Every structure is written in structure tokens, then in C-alpha cells.
Amino acid sequence: MRMKDIPLSAWIGIIGILLAFFLAIFAPLIAPYGEREVVGEIWEQMSSQYLLGTDNLGRDLLSRMIYGARTTLFVALAASVLSFSIGIFLSFTAAVTRGIVDQVLSRFNDLMMSVPTLIFALVVLAVLPQNIWILITVMAVLDSTRVFRLGRAVALDVAVMEFVEAARLRGEGSMWIIFREILPNTLSPLLAEFGLRFAFSILFLSTLSFLGLGIQPPAADWGGMVKDNKDGIIFGIPAALIPGGAIAALAICVNLVVDWLLRRTSSLKGGRGDA
């Protein structure tokens, strides 16, 4: 693949994501003030001192945005990596072993998916103690049902191909079949799915935080910052819209990259026309 094959839209997405990660990694160096430091009046206007103004407690909004990138990206990324690992491991196991293992896993997955993710999360978070690792685990487990469904479908598509049968006939073991025959042929759709799951995790985390069930204050995260500053809206203070816009922008960036990945996958499958 060459650089010039990447379309402009995907470039925008890649640059946006890199920028967010840059902010997150170097937050203490970049942020002008501390994460929890009260520096001024409540909801001060944008100024040269406070580039984005201050929030509902008089903390610097820009600094909180930068630290918020850290929390939001870390939790969303951790949740998608975990959900992906669980989903892919279980789905590939189901697709390769088939039989009773597949049946049990698939039926249980159907059951989990028959409750909307957010509703399920609300029920579970109502009981569990509030803690960042529990939050990540709940998000990951709920999301892994989607990964499982796609992973199983993709793996089954490949597993019924004759070259996999040929490997079985040769006497190859399950590990060879999964890692050498199936996985290389499913990388493209799985990569796109990972992107989708990451975008979904960002939105999901933000929604939970917005509802007061995600990241707990005073830690900064973008969804929680919308919640903190939402009362300002009535007075025409846009402080809540800045973190909201950041969430949207990041999700758009991820989706732009995913869109390109998906189109690349389908053009590989499409092949030549019939002459």
C-alpha cells in the first residue's frame, strides 16, 4: 500500500486521532493549569488567560479538556481492546470447534444482545461499586457481544473455504488453522470492526459519564464535563458544547478511517467484473 492511496478523508481522521493521543500522552506538559485547580470565576469567557474560558467551578476548561482526553481515550481504548480480545477469542473458538461449544456461546450471546447495551449497563452499574476498572470491564463485556457476532460470521465465512478444509485434510492442528489460515484472511474486516468498536466506546463512555454513571468527578473526562457544564446552556454559556464537540470530532475521525478501511475490504472482495 502506498501513501497516496489513502484518501483525504482518511488522512483527516488519522491526523485527528493522532492529535488526540498526543494531547493525552503529554497532557501535564501541554496543559496551562492543573486538572483540578480552581483558577478563576465560574464560567469565565474565553480570554488570552483562559483560552476556552472556565467551567462551572472556575477551573480552566482547556486544561480539563487536555486531561479529559487522557481519561476518555484511555478508558475507551482499554474497553475496546478488552472487548475485542474477549469477542475474537470466543468467536474464533466457536467457529473452529463448532458443535455444542458454538451452540452454547452463540445462544448466550443472542441473549446478551437482546437487551439494549445502555439499558444493560444501567442495570449492572446500579449494583456495582463505582470504579474505573469495573466501568471498563462492564463496557468491554457488553461490547464484546457485537465483536463475537461479527467475528464468528467472518471466521465461519473463511472456515468453510476449501483451503481450510485442505489444511484439515493435511492434518494441521486448530492453532495453525486459526492463526495461519483464517486470521490473515479476516484482518481487514476485523481492523475496521476494531475502529467501529473504538468509536462506539468513546460515545458509550461519554454517555455513561453524562448520565453520571461513568467517570466520577473530580477526574476530568469529556462526557462528565458536558454534565458539569450543562446548566450553563440556559444562560447561553457554551462551555458544555466544547467537550461535546470534542467527543463528536474524535468519533468522526475514527469513523472516517473505518469508512476507508471498510471500502478497501469490499473492493478487495469485489474483484473484477464479468467480461
Site for another protein in 107-166 (CB under 8 A): 110-112, 114-120, 122-129, 161-163, 165-166
Provide the minimum distance between the beta carbon of 27 and another protein in the complex, in angstroms, as a whole number: 22
Q: What spatial distance separates the first Cα and last Cα of the chain, rounded to whole Å?
A: 27
Q: Name which of 175 and 275 has its Cβ closer to another protein.
A: 275
Q: Name which of 30 and 124 has its Cβ closer to another protein.
A: 124
Q: In terms of Cα–Cα distance, which of 238, 248, 237 is closest to 206?
A: 248
Is 104 a residue that touches another protein (CB under 8 A)?
no
Is 206 a residue that touches another protein (CB under 8 A)?
yes
Please check whether residue 205 is in contact with residue 214, taking contact to mean a CB–CB distance below 8 angstroms: yes
Is 175 a residue that touches another protein (CB under 8 A)?
no
* Alpha carbon 83 to chain centroid, angstroms: 10
What 3-state class would DSSP assign to 121? helix
CA distance 144 to 114: 14
Which one among 155, 226, 257, 261 touches another protein, defined by CB under 8 A? 226
How many residues make up the chain in this entry?
275
Which one among 211, 216, 217, 219 touches another protein, defined by CB under 8 A? 211
CA distance 67 to 188: 33
Give the number of other CB atoms < 10 A from CB of residue 195: 22
Binding mask 5-24 for another protein (x = CB under 8 A): x---x---------------
CA distance 35 to 141: 30
CA distance 71 to 114: 30
Provide the minimum distance between the beta carbon of 265 and another protein in the complex, in angstroms, as a whole number: 11
Which span (25-33, 86-94, 148-156, 266-274) binds another protein, by CB under 8 A?
Answer: 266-274
Please check whether residue 130 is in contact with residue 195, taking contact to mean a CB–CB distance below 8 angstroms: no
Number of residues engaging another protein in binding (CB under 8 A): 70
What 3-state class would DSSP assign to 45? coil
Which one among 154, 254, 257, 261 touches another protein, defined by CB under 8 A? 254
State the residues that interact with another protein by CB under 8 A: 1-2, 5, 9, 110-112, 114-120, 122-129, 161-163, 165-166, 168-172, 181, 184-185, 199, 203, 206-207, 210-213, 223, 226, 230, 233-236, 238, 240-241, 244-245, 247-248, 251-252, 254-256, 259, 264, 267-268, 272-275
